[in-house]
């Protein structure tokens, strides 16, 4: 039902750059590439912890992300991707994902997701975190915390023998236990030499369903969790996805690789700045 293909070397002749619906199984050279790409993106998210303050614009965040990616020898994978013209996505309050950086300053009490994807030596490091601007209400801070826990509970299920559905189910169960809803319109994805590849990693579903996890699979887990209903609306710019009921939403994302015994997180924060509060 699902087709798996082993890929061994990082050159254009391998099937690893073709989106053909197959699930790629990578070797140690792939892990090495993903480690570097993932680390650079994670370092950038670390740098944003002190940078993100009331009054800072998302355009300034975008500029910092772009500079740090280029300085690190990478290219922003989102720049020019299907017509997206920025180096990261900045999604504030009721914006679920794909928010476009602009000149509006951040306000005290905002929560914002910054999603960075490096493209380094042919490999993609895709990760996002939430940031709390100044002092946010407990309701917002709690959503951020639970969303982070959803991601990590999903990652706990990422090991050989389990399926994508085990990840989905762990996330959905925990979110709904807190009376939050899980966005269905966007999902995690395979990645590697491609930015978006098979399999689809849905964030709600039944345990034991979907593709079986095998060593060498690379994919993201990136749950979007809403305080209100799960429905999505896309704004007129064609990108910005907001909650239809305009309630708060949060998201965290890691890129991981399945190992013989579990998984490796390629985008772990080098400084341990996994989730606010940072202090």
Residue 223's nearest CA partner among 109, 159, 130 is 130
- Determine, following the binding rule CB under 6 A, whether residue 149 of this chain makes contact with ligand MF3: no
By CB under 5 A, the residues from 249 to 268 that bind Co ion are 253
Nearer to Co ion, 115 or 149 (CB): 115
Nearer to ligand MF3, 26 or 124 (CB): 124
Piece of 59-67, 118-126, 165-173, 227-235 that binds Co ion (CB under 5 A): 118-126
Piece of 3-11, 33-41, 82-90, 134-142 that binds ligand MF3 (CB under 6 A): 82-90
Which position among 16, 41, 58, 78 is part of the footprint of ligand MF3 (CB under 6 A)? 78
On whether the CB atoms of residues 113 and 130 are closer than 8 A, the answer is yes
Name the pairing type of β-strands 224-226 and 241-243.
unpaired
- Determine, following the binding rule CB under 5 A, whether residue 126 of this chain makes contact with Co ion: yes
Nearer to ligand MF3, 94 or 124 (CB): 124
Nearer to ligand MF3, 87 or 181 (CB): 87
Give the whole-angstrom CA distance, residue 54 versus residue 107: 5
- Determine, following the binding rule CB under 6 A, whether residue 126 of this chain makes contact with ligand MF3: yes
Which position among 115, 149, 166, 197 is part of the footprint of ligand MF3 (CB under 6 A)? 115
- Determine, following the binding rule CB under 6 A, whether residue 81 of this chain makes contact with ligand MF3: yes
- Closest separation between CB of residue 115 and Co ion, Å? 4
From residue 220, give the alpha-carbon distance in Å to each of 124, 158, 166, 258.
11, 11, 14, 11
Nearer to ligand MF3, 43 or 253 (CB): 253
- Determine, following the binding rule CB under 6 A, whether residue 200 of this chain makes contact with ligand MF3: no
62's contact among Co ion, ligand MF3, none, with CB below 5 to 8 A by partner kind, is none
Piece of 47-55, 121-129, 130-138, 266-274 that binds Co ion (CB under 5 A): 121-129
Piece of 74-82, 104-112, 177-185, 201-209 that binds ligand MF3 (CB under 6 A): 74-82
The footprint of Co ion (CB under 5 A) covers 115, 126, 220, 253
The footprint of ligand MF3 (CB under 6 A) covers 78, 81-82, 84, 89, 98, 115, 117, 126, 220, 222, 239, 253
């Amino acid at each position: 039902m699902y087709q798996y293909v082993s890929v061994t070397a990082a050159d254009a002749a391998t099937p690893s750059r073709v989106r053909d619906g197959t699930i790629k199984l990578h070797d140690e050279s792939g892990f090495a590439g993903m480690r570097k790409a993932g680390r650079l993106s994670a370092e950038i998210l670390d740098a944003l912890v002190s940078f993100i303050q009331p009054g800072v614009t998302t355009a300034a965040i975008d500029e910092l992300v772009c500079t740090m990616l280029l300085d690190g020898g990478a290219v922003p994978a989102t720049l020019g991707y299907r017509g997206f013209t920025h180096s990261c996505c900045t999604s504030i309050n009721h914006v679920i994902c794909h928010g476009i950086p602009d000149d509006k300053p951040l306000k005290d009490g905002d929560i914002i997701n910054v999603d960075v994807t490096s493209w380094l030596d042919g490999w993609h490091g895709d990760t996002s975190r939430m940031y709390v601007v100044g002092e946010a209400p407990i309701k917002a801070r709690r959503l951020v915390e639970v969303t982070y826990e959803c991601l990590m509970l999903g990652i706990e299920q990422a090991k050989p023998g389990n399926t994508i559905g085990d990840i989905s189910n762990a996330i959905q169960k925990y979110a709904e236990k807190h009376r939050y809803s899980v966005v269905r319109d966007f999902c995690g994805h395979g990645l590697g030499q491609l930015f978006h590849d098979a399999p689809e990693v849905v964030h709600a579903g039944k345990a034991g369903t979907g593709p079986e996890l095998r060593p060498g699979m690379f994919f993201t887990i990136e749950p979007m969790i809403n305080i209100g209903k799960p429905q999505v609306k896309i704004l007129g710019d064609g990108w910005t996805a907001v909650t239809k009921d305009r309630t708060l939403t949060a998201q965290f994302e890691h890129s991981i690789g399945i190992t013989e015994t579990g998984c490796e997180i390629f985008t772990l924060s080098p400084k341990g700045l996994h989730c606010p509060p940072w202090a």
